[in-house]
Structure formats: C-alpha cells, structure tokens
Amino acid sequence: MQLTIDPDIEDMTTSLMRFIEREVIPIEEANKALLADDRSLFDATGRYVPEVLALRRKVRMRSAELGFYTLFGAADLGGSEMGARASTHIQETLYRRYGPARTLIQTVVLPSPFTNGLTPVLRALPPRTLARYREGIASGDKTLCFALSEPDAGSDVMAMKTRAVREGDAWVITGTKQWITNAPYADYAMVFAVTDAQQAAKRKGGITGFLVDMRTPGVAAPSVVRVMGHLGGETGTFTLDKVRVADDHRLGAVDQGLAVAIGGVSAGRLGLAAMSLGLAQWALDLALGYAKVRKTFGVPIAQHQAIQFMLADSAMDIYAAKAMLQKCSLRIDHQQDVVAEISMVKAFCTEMVGRVMDRCIQIHGGMGLTNELRLEEGMRLARQTRIPDGTGEIQRRTIALQMLAGKLDL
C-alpha cells in the first residue's frame, strides 16, 4: 500500500488554499477588529455576535458553492467522497499553514467530519426525509449539531438519560444534551435517546437517533459552554421537553442508533488526529525558524544541545504521528477494519501535539508565553483535543478490548 499523496488530492489541497488566500483571508483582514478579540467576537452570553455569524455563513456558503464544503461527504449524499486520505491530508495542511484560532477558516470552509455538512450520519435517514434537508445542509445555508453527550454521559454513552417514547407515528423526546458542538447555532440536531431502557441497561442497544429541528416546540438552547481561555464558543447545552419528532426522522433502525453514532465519532477522531498533526507541524516550523535567529551567549540558540534535543524529539513525535495517520487513512479507504487503529491514532496524535507545543513554547522562552505568535493559543487548543470524541483513556480501553478479542494484528 503506497503512502504517497495522490496528485488529485494535492491539486484539491492547492485549490482550497488558493480559495482561502484569495477570498477568506481578505475577509478576515477587513474584519480584524471584530474577529481578533473575544470581547468583540462574543456577546455577554458567550454566543458569537450576529456580525460574526453572518461572516461565517457567507464563507461557509461560498465554500459550498465552490465544492469545498462537501468534499468529504458520501457520494450518495451528493458529496465528492474524496476519502480518509484526502480528508486527513487537507486538514493537516490547513492547520500547518494557519495554526489555531482562525475564526473563518478551520470549521467554516470545511465542516467537522461528522457534526456538520454532509455528515455520514445523514445516510441513516429515510431517502424522502433526507431529500427535504439535503440541499440546505449541502449549501451551507443550514447547520447541524451531533447530540450524543449529556451531563452524566460522556465517555459512558450508555449512561444517557434522554428518553424517546413512541406515540403513534411519532416519538416524544425528553432530556438534556451537553458539550454539543454548534448547539447554540444549529438549525437541526442529530439527537440520540434511549428507546429501550432494558437493552440499554444491559449495554446491548436500546438507543435510537433522530433528526430534530431546533425550532420545534420544547427545544431550548439556553447556554454556551465556554472552553479554555475563551469568553464564548461553539459548544453548548440544549434541552428537549416532550419534543415530538415524526418517525420518518429516525436515524436508522429502532434501538440501533449507537452504531449510527459511532460511525460519525470515528470520523471525528480521525479529524482531530489530523488537526493535531498539522498544529504540531505549525508550532515546530515556528520554533525551528526562531531557533536559527535568536541568539544567546553569542550564538543562535539552535547551536545549543538542549534546543537541538527539543527540536529532534518534536520531529520524532511528528514523524511517528504522520506515519500512523497515513496508514490508518489508507486502510479506511481500502474498507479494512480499523477500530483499534483509529483509537491509536486519535490518542497518539492528540497527546503528541501537547508535547510538541510545550517544547516549542520552551524554545521561544518568554515570547512563547505571550500570544503574539499564537503559541499560547495553540497550547490551549492542543490540550482540548485529548477529550472530545473519546478521551485518551477511552481510546486505550478500545485498543485493549480489540486486542483481547483477537481483532488487532500488529
């Protein structure tokens, strides 16, 4: 299996970067005062201000118009279905070039692998229902959120308390979802709820997914969850109080929703790994350049062995992460079983970026503690990647269970 990047993937990456440089960066520069400071970016409740939401929508829809926003969507959803290798390579390149905290680039030009855009979760909708929503979602006009986690059900998904009860040709859903990306802004939510408490208690199913319009009576998104170092953000909590959802909005078979959800989560894990790899490379590029020009004791700090060791350790971390990610992506594109490998890649890459970012801040000394170079912002983003879509501990549990079941061939 060849690990080189196909020319068509490189061409698409080049086209995407050209779009960002020609159209998105100028918008960011023209709105620098609005986008560069959390105090203008968010309102008192932690939500993006209307002007920012309008800019995000503009960029999102322009990206969709040019075909970038739907690059990784399945062909039967109307996407380009470029595959895992393309997805990881493009996301890696995106973060290596632009680093952290670009409000109009990372999750606007390209949607999250499974929480927005033509997410694979939508394939579980009945065709007639999908046809009603597909165009709005594919065009970037409407956005989604993926609602699996709850206040007491994160890593332990089966502990969820949200319930859906069948009433004729509809379901009535009640519960609270938390840590949900895009919940404060989404038009639709992919909600997972317990439909058979006995099966769920035995951890043998009993969970079903539904597509819920966030404007439905009984749905409320009361708060934003503010994450490390920010006055607001994209993550939020929302509640469902006896919300009626038609059965034709069900995601897959009754009581089999966890299989639908896990397919999406796996895509998210791969996306976080690619983001982490690109972010680590961005930081190392900065550190390498700085080490060549910053002088102490009359020589560039790159000549000091302590600095050389930190650079070398970072390079080894990145090399190992890149090899793991490329091999895993290639196996996915060949339809191979990669449950354990995805967990390995997610855990290793998200932990690796923390180590690299820490070394790069150390190499920069006092400058690394400021946010002038955005390394401080990068460090906070690196720390966050270890928790969403399954913590490092959950990834290790998955790896061990796959080994014990004889499903991991090293």
| pLDDT for the residue numbered 154 | 81
CA distances from 307 to 293, 313, 371 (A): 13, 10, 21
Whichever domain contains 391, its CATH number is 1.20.140.10
**E strand segments, 247-312:** 250-251, 295-296, 299-300
* Domain assignment of residue 409, yes or no: no
Range of the domain at 304: 259-404
CA distances from 309 to 171, 303, 304, 359 (A): 59, 11, 9, 10
Same domain, 38 and 149: no
Given 256, 279, 308, the domain boundary residue is: 256
pLDDT more than 70, % of the chain: 98
| pLDDT for the residue numbered 367 | 94
Residues 6+ apart with CB under 8 A from 243: 172, 173, 174, 212, 216, 217, 218, 219
102, 25 Cβ separation under 8 angstroms: no
CA atoms within 13 A on the CB side of 266: 19
Same domain, 133 and 181: no
Residues 6+ apart with CB under 8 A from 11: none
162, 191 Cβ separation under 8 angstroms: yes
Block residue for tokens 């793991």:
324
* Domain assignment of residue 46, yes or no: yes
Query: What is the per-residue pLDDT across 71-127, written as a single tens digit (0 to 9) for each?
Result: 988 888 988 888 899 999 999 999 999 998 667 886 688 877 777 889 989 999 999
| pLDDT for the residue numbered 76 | 87
135, 177 Cβ separation under 8 angstroms: no
| pLDDT for the residue numbered 239 | 97
* Three-point CA angle 393, 335, 204, nearest 5°: 50
* Domain assignment of residue 244, yes or no: yes
Mean pLDDT of residues grouped by 10 in the chain (410 residues)? 78 94 94 91 95 94 94 88 90 93 75 81 95 95 94 87 97 96 95 95 93 97 89 94 98 94 83 95 98 96 98 98 94 91 97 98 96 93 92 95 91
CA distances from 388 to 131, 273, 343 (A): 30, 11, 12
pTM for this prediction? 0.92
| pLDDT for the residue numbered 73 | 87
Stretch (H or E) spanning 61: helix 50-65
From CA 132, how far away is CA 69, in angstroms rounded?
19
Domain count, the chain: 3
* Domain assignment of residue 1, yes or no: no
Given 205, 229, 256, the domain boundary residue is: 256
CA distances from 148 to 156, 194, 246, 324 (A): 11, 11, 19, 28
Same domain, 40 and 64: yes
* Domain assignment of residue 410, yes or no: no
Same domain, 14 and 43: yes
Same domain, 108 and 165: no
Per-residue burial over 318-328, b = 16 or more CB atoms within 10 Å of its CB, e = otherwise? beebbebbbeb
Query: What is the per-residue pLDDT across 131-171, written as a single tens digit (0 to 9) for each?
Result: 999 999 999 999 999 999 999 888 888 899 999 999 999 99
Given 138, 161, 190, the domain boundary residue is: 138
